[in-house]
Amino acid sequence: MLQPILFAFLGGALVSVSRAINGRLSLATSAMTASFWNHLVGFLFLSAVALLWGGLMPGGWPDAPVTAWFGGTLGVLFVASGSWLVARIGATLTAMLVIAGQMVSGVALDLALGQSDNLLPKAAGVALILAGMMLARRGR
Amino acid sequence: MTNRLAYPLAFASGGLLTLMVLFNGQWAREGTPLFASWMAHGTGTAAALVFLLLLRLGRRPSETRRPAPLWAYLGGLSGAVTVMLTSTTVNSFLALSGTLALGLAGQAGFSLLSDRFGWFGLPARRIGGTDLAALALILAGSLLVIFT
């Protein structure tokens, strides 16, 4: 009962940890250099985990649409922009705005894919998020 | 000047994240979350190399900056562990929505502490009432989106 709650919370905290660490590296190098090291270190670590514990491809190489190959590239741009942002506007504001963008675009994507029922509360959620963003902007 | 650029960039990068999760999830649908993350990091490393080469082509040799501490190269560990943690919690009673909601709480809580005390060698920042109110609105709106 308690373990998943702790893990999920920790998972979120670690998102902020890696953004801050990459931000620090970007100050000494560049945002894209930080993103490169982030991915290389992550790749080596996950390779080691897969070698030790297995579970990488239990059913053979999975079949996926061609778009799956571009997830990593988007991740590189995401980490680079996060490193640049956290060193300039701080961790809290960066997290706030990224979450806002993720939620609003998620609702838009569901709409575009026609996977959206229960639209009214989601629209209310988007309105709250946009209000929060305007407030954050006023505070500066 | 930085702020004028930073706000839309941060918001847009959230949209990038949505697409990234969608695309990486296509590997996980038939493979494992570990495979999806491994592929994303592998193809990402290659993509970052290409971006770095393109960026460097048009640039003069840069000034020498003070080197980063060794730990600053280890941000990727944190991201990889996140994937391992959340791939277990989405299969627990928390499901995806609970995982997302608690993850937001973890991000917000840790960011506030990190800013307040200037952790990881980044400048410390004062968090005002307006910031907290804005954060509360965004989190409340996110919970509505996640759980409905």
**Residue-wise pLDDT tens digits, B113-126:** 999 999 999 999 99
Q: Mean pLDDT score of chain A, rounded to an integer?
A: 94
Residues A9 and A73 in one domain: yes
The residue range of the domain holding A36 is: 1-89
The residue range of the domain holding B7 is: 1-40
Q: Which residue of B has its CA nearest to A27?
A: B68
B57 found inside a domain: no
Tokens 């894919």 belong to residue:
A113
Helices (H), A29-117: 31-53, 71-89, 91-112
Residues A9 and A48 in one domain: yes
Residues A46 and A99 in one domain: no
User: Left, alpha or beta for A46 (phi > 0: left; psi -120 to 50: alpha)?
Assistant: alpha
Q: For residue range A29-69, what is the model confidence (pLDDT) as tens digits?
A: 999 999 999 999 999 999 999 999 988 888 888 889 999 99
B10 found inside a domain: yes
Residues in chain B with pLDDT values less than 70: 1-2, 58-64
- Chain B from 69 to 98: CB within 8 A of any A CB: 69, 71-86, 88-89, 92-94, 98
pLDDT at A116 over 80: no
Domain end among A89, A104, A124: A89
Distance from CA of A137 to the nearest CA of B (A): 8
Residues A3 and A38 in one domain: yes
Residues A77 and A18 in one domain: yes
Q: ipTM score here?
A: 0.93
Q: Which residue of B has its CA nearest to A16?
A: B107
Residues of A in contact with B30 (CB under 8 A): 59, 62-64
Residue B33: Cβ within 10 Å count: 19
Residues A70 and A117 in one domain: no
Residues of A in contact with B145 (CB under 8 A): 103, 106-107, 122, 125-126, 129
Residues A10 and A47 in one domain: yes
Chain B interface disruption, residue of A30, A45, A46, A88, most B CBs within 10 A: A46
- What is the number of CB-based contacts under 8 A between chain A and chain B? 413
pLDDT given at position B1: 54
pLDDT given at position B30: 81
The total of structural domains in chain B comes to 2
Contacts of residue B120, defined as CB under 8 A and 6 or more positions apart, other chains included, come to A17, A20, A21, A23, A24, B114
Picking from A97, A126, A139, the nearest residue to B14 by CB comes out as A97
Residues A21 and A52 in one domain: yes
The total of structural domains in chain A comes to 2
- Asked if A85 and B115 count as a contact pair (C-beta separation under 8 A), the reply is no
Cβ of residue B13 closer than 8 Å to a chain A Cβ:
yes
Residues A65 and A133 in one domain: no
